[in-house]
Every structure is written in C-alpha cells, then in structure tokens.
Amino acid sequence: MRIFDPHIHMTSRTTDDYEAMAAAGVRAVVEPAFWLGQPRTSVGSFIDYFDALVGWEPFRAQGFGVRHHCAIALNPKEANDPRCREVLDLIDRYLAKDRVVALGEVGYDSMTPPEDEAFARQLELAERHELPVLVHTPHRDKHAGTLRSLDVVRESGLPPGQVVLDHLNELTVAPVLESGSWAGFSIYPDTKMDERRMVAILREYGTERILVNSAADWGRSDPLKTRRTAEAMLAAGFDDSDVDRVLWQNPVEFYGQSGRLDLGEALEPAAASFQGSSVLRGEPGE
C-alpha cells in the first residue's frame, strides 16, 4: 500500500513518527504552513519557518524515504495580527520555489475583514503562479465559513479544480463537490472526523476529488490516520484500487497541477509491502 498524506505538519512530529509512517506505507507528504500555537511577533519568524519547510524538513523526511513538499501562505489566524501582515509581501518569492506545490493554508478562522483581504490577495498569487490552493475551513461556524470560502474562490476566477477545501464533514462535503473543488478531510483521534465516518462519506459520495489527511500537529493527533482510514475502507468492502485512488492517486493528481511533485522512486507501484502492522495495533480511534 502506498500513501500520500496531503496535509500533515511534520515540523511538530518526531523521527519516531517518520519511522512509523514509512513502515505504514506513507511515501509522500505535503506540509502546509500554519499557525504554530505560539503567536509570532515578527516577519523574521515566518522567514525562518518557511525556510525550514523548503529546506530542513525535506532533508529530515528523506532520511526515512518520505518525499516532503510544502504549501506556503500566511495562515488565517495570524492574518489578523498587524505584526504579521508584512508576510504577505514575502509569499510571492516562496511560491516560486521548487518544493512548494501549493498555496496554503489560507481561508477563514473568525471571518474578519483582515482575513478577507489576506485570503483574496493570496488567491491572486496562486493564480499568478498557477498553483493549487489549500483552504482551511473554520472549526467554529464551519458551514457558513465553507460557503463563504466557496464564494471567495468563485470570485477569484481560479478554476475550482485547483482548490481543495479542507477539514470538511458530513454537512460541508456536498456544496464543495458540487462547486467542482476538491473535498479534504482531516481524520482525528477523538474529535471532528474519524475513519468510520470517512468511510460512510466515501460510500455516499464516491472516491473522486476526495483527499484524506491526518493533519497531525502538536495537538492530539495521529500521523497514521491515513493508514487507518485505508484499513477501514478495506474492512468496509472497498478494494485495493479504491484505496490507492483515495490515498495516493488523488493527492498526486491534485498537487501534480503544480508541475513540481518530486516522487522519484515513490512513483513505482508498491514493491515493498507493509511490514509495520504492529504500529497499527492500537485501539480504533485512540
């Protein structure tokens, strides 16, 4: 089984995680730029963070045979901090870099005017660089935030297929798929969305334009949730090609629009079979 995690924050994970991910079949990841928890007080903090995403983290991943790419953006939460606004002037030059396969995470946190401005301005940059866009939908007031994000995408003139709206659930998936955009789902250990609900969504909506990720970060999260979702799909009667479609081909197709995916030998069909099943023997949903 080959897995591409299209949204995971490896900066906040250990080498044990890389080891377990590689053993579980994770061969490629995209790490979007996000809010680090501790508010940043200057633009320099962003420069160092972005440099780590294009330099240090791919190097760290390479040691475990995982292909690492990233998405760059000013995240919605810090778009509200006047000390961080200047970051918008830096995004352009990062979007030109080889390992940057998308713009993200952009979107809404609290749906404020500064968030509106940062969102629209960054969509223009994505259009100029012809890059896919990863849109974070807010955890509070998700339904309204998702519909409003779809409006902003529509107004931007970007082709809808170049955009994924992420952190979706049963209530937000339909309008996103109907718009022509991609639907992203973050699978968490105990909140928001789990693999059982994910399988039900796949049954109802099919496997096209669906991305499944672990979104693992510093919060309670599990970098093997992609693998666990694959197992749940198989247990529910989906076959190997459905699993490969959702957990490999879909992310390759979506981020492949950048023209920058570097998958190397990871592109070859699975030669190495999964040998780390012991790492998956936890309780479901732990």
Residues 202 and 233: beta-carbon distance below 8 Å: yes
Q: What are the b/e assignments for 212-222, b being 16+ CB within 10 Å?
A: bbbbbbeeebb
What secondary structure, in 3-state letters, does 234-270 show?
HHCCCCHHHHHHHHHHHHHHHHHCCCCCCCHHHHCCC
118: which 2 tokens?
A: 């940062």
Which C-beta is closer to Zn ion: that of 166 or that of 231? 166
Minimum distance from residue 109 beta carbon to Zn ion (Å): 12
Give the binding site for Zn ion (CB under 5 A).
34, 215
End-to-end CA distance of the chain: 22
Minimum distance from residue 194 beta carbon to Zn ion (Å): 17
Which C-beta is closer to Zn ion: that of 72 or that of 215? 215
Which C-beta is closer to Zn ion: that of 9 or that of 148? 9
Minimum distance from residue 281 beta carbon to Zn ion (Å): 27
- Backbone angle region of 7, left / alpha / beta, with phi > 0 → left and psi within -120 to 50 → alpha: beta
Which C-beta is closer to Zn ion: that of 183 or that of 215? 215
Which C-beta is closer to Zn ion: that of 34 or that of 248? 34
Residue nearest to Zn ion as judged by C-beta position = 34
| Strand bridging mode 3-5 / 26-32 | parallel
Minimum distance from residue 215 beta carbon to Zn ion (Å): 5
Minimum distance from residue 171 beta carbon to Zn ion (Å): 20
